[in-house]
Structure 1
């Protein structure tokens, strides 16, 4: 306990992902194979903390305090995804883009709050009037590298926010927070909600593999998602993940592919 006024604490961690095949064709109903990259920011090697830039994982932690605790701020963001982006990419430092990012973050935050409280605005108002929140994000996924940085952030952030508000809705606070299968499904939906805000019309493969972990053969046809998870993978199978340092936008890549497909329908077949 950091304070006698501390009420509740939650910490969520979400992996990044790799799509082995079908990154473009999955949008058009063809199967894709993806797996989660789950090395944790908290892993240690020979007593030294692993560099967060190669951890490929996002962490979100929230500590809830009573507002009567005068030593705590009303709302303190120790570190946010926005600050991380500004520090690494100067082309996203303009005020106009900052407003866009803040609006995006607010939409994701509010959606998680509403889902956690079953859209009961009275309960939400009561919680906000009673408690203050200390939020920290640890971001270890390279941005624009095809590793699912936005999905990893959306999952970790919405997961912690959703679970905190769901728990605060209970008449008696539990000694520890338990995540059920239903909770995971809601976090998966929230992750996809955030992905749609970022990418427009994603297939859902990032949201699925980041929320579920493991490996998946993912197909989406006529709006229906089909997933296969039963794979016989050799224990000694290894992959080397190399980031070139050249950033790209998944949304832009998908739009460019769609434009090419429409321009040359008889020549370009995405499969």
Structure 2
């Protein structure tokens, strides 16, 4: 019996134990198996991700992780503060600026991730500066999709098409292969949406927090000087150990 066989049997045994006792969520266990096989040298990096059927899926996953990282590190809040100058601008100009920004960013980051980021930015602009999000969400979606079509990595569709093109021809599409066409479509969409701005949905009159009584479930806790929470990690506090409490955000130094 070789060491490779022994290692595989050990990994399978650990897998059975983890699944049986549900020590971690199933998705994390699955990634643990991939990582274990890869780090032990039993499979190559290409073989490790072959179960995703396409390499572009891994790229999309990494882009989504990037979007979450931007939110957790406060970049989205910082970006929203930078856009506060728009609060006194005419609504049409705000619409144009938001569409240009979302379209430009989505040319280099997954359009799905850009939409997620800008939805959060619009929500912050609404809460802090009173900008109505209803007329911005649909244009952001359109601009992100069309802006993502300007480059190879702007949208997951382009990545998948490039992978198929490379498989059958041995060549790859250029990064800016279709940028000119994408810019024409993006510019045209901005003009059309501006012309039909009056017909864009205003959004629901009832706020989600009021409609679903979220104030009954959301609390803000301030840690005062001398609190036993000072100096300990979140996982060691009562908030982590209590299963009915979920910490949404931790803010330090404002």
Settle same-fold status: TM greater than 0.5. Answer: no
Give the TM bin, normalised by the shorter chain.
under 0.3
Normalised by the size of structure 1, how large is the TM-score? 0.26
Normalised by the size of structure 2, how large is the TM-score? 0.28
- Pick the structure with greater CA Rg: 2
Higher relative contact order (CA 8 A, sep 6+): 1
Q: Which structure dedicates a bigger proportion of its chain to strand?
A: 1
Q: Which structure dedicates a bigger proportion of its chain to helix?
A: 2
